[in-house]
Amino acid sequence: MAGALAGRRVVLGVCGGIAAYKAVEVCRRLVAAGAHVTPVMTRGATRFLGEVTLSALASERVQTSLWSEADPIPHTRLGQTADVIVVVPATARVIGSYAAGISSDLLTATLLATRSPVVVCPAMHTEMWEHPATRDNLATLRRRGVHVVEPATGRLAGGDVGAGRLAEAGTIVAAVERVLAPQDLAGVRVLVSAGGTREPIDPVRFVGNRSSGKQGHALAYEAAGRGAQVTLVTTVGLPVPSGAEVVRVETAADMEKAVLDRAGEADVVVMAAAVADFRPKASSAEKLKKVDGVPELVLEPTVDILAELGRRRTPGQTLVGFAAETHDMRARAAEKLRTKGVDLIVGNDVAAADVGFEHDTNRVHVVGRDGFEQDTTLIDKRDVARVVLDAVVSIRQRPTSPP
């Protein structure tokens, strides 16, 4: 399944900071996503990272000079042919030169010679990051449409801890994907649930399931990348897309309240969470002791959130449910579609190898109320998210009809 980066030409600019070594992982991820990556290193960057490393991982060898005999105007060629330029790490010097329009090396000249989108990923010591000159230069770049991936707070060179640490590779690649992705959900309010709920037996034990939340978080990232206003209700601590509203929950009751309280304002609701079907009727306030014998565990059903969403759906709202099954998956997905009042059901056989719970991959059967049907091969969960949201976009582009 082709993503936003497949076949796209990416100029990867690397500046002279200690975080330059992290550009290696960014490069690897970009290439793995199908991008054609051309690395451009400043002279300072070569003091921290060898050219051979990036040349070996990228689609072309590293370029460092404006005065290459093989290409008399390399900055113009790179700037005009790039689909996106991403600078990892972006030092205070390069940010300042770019904002001031000073083309003192191949990278800054390329940045000035492009009309393609630019993503800069600052990394520097806290004092430099917080300096008024740096803040003003970034404000200037933002006004011009440059995308800035904010640095994190964490351990810095020299052992200090503070703001200025380069964002993680996954965050950077996701930002590049968002820039290149089709904005077919721009302005659409998308509510996604993710993860498995935990129903307490006592303060340390619970009834739960093996859901990792990876599929729900992949859906949230994909929706955000396509321009949606995302609300993510999740039980897990996985990374979340920048700008999303995140609601942390634990139990089925928590999930029920969080989702139903927000669903009325959503244009699209995707129930990817694995909500427990049953919970202990009573939970002990103290840890149960083995010496006291085996407790009687009486279960009661939880609220069927998906069915309740179907009953409460608002005009024009698109509802998506998931069916994780261990047998008769296709029949059970079709039955769930018929009885829950939703537009799409995504079925997957969690008994199969490398599929569903806890895995990075999935193989799904997507079936729609309008007769839509699609089966995928074993693919990454982000690719599954693209399949699902492609179907959602298709539904929303058609004339509405009653459920």
Q: Which residue has the tokens 């290459």?
A: 68
Q: Which amino acid is at 376?
A: T
Burial of 249 per CB tally in 10 Å (0-12, 13-18, 19+): buried
Instruction: Find the DSSP H helices in 8-153.
Output: 23-32, 45-48, 51-57, 74-81, 92-100, 106-112, 126-129, 132-143
8 Å CB contact between 233 and 195: no
Where residue 199 falls (left for φ over 0; alpha for ψ -120 to 50; beta otherwise) is beta
Distance (Å, whole) CA 280 – CA 139:
53
Phi, psi dihedrals of residue 240, rounded to the nearest 5°: -125, 155
The strand pairing partners of 361, in sequence order, are 380
305-312 vs 252-263: helix crossing angle, rounded to 10: 20
Note if 137 is an active site residue.
Answer: no
Sheet architecture: strand order including 118-122? 36-41, 9-14, 84-90, 118-122, 147-148
- Buried b or exposed e, range 286-324, using 16+ CB within 10 angstroms: eebeeeeeeeeeeeeebebbbebbbeebeeebbbbbbbb
Could you tell me how far CA 208 lies from the centroid of its own chain? 25
Say which amino acid occupies 101.
G
Q: Please, which residues bridge with residue 299 across strands? A: 280
- Among residues 137, 209, 348, 362, the one annotated as catalytic is 209
Which residues neighbour 369 within 8 Å (Cβ) at sequence distance 6 or greater? 337, 342, 343, 344, 403
Residue 115, number of CB atoms within 10 A of its CB: 8
What is the set of active-site residues?
Answer: 209
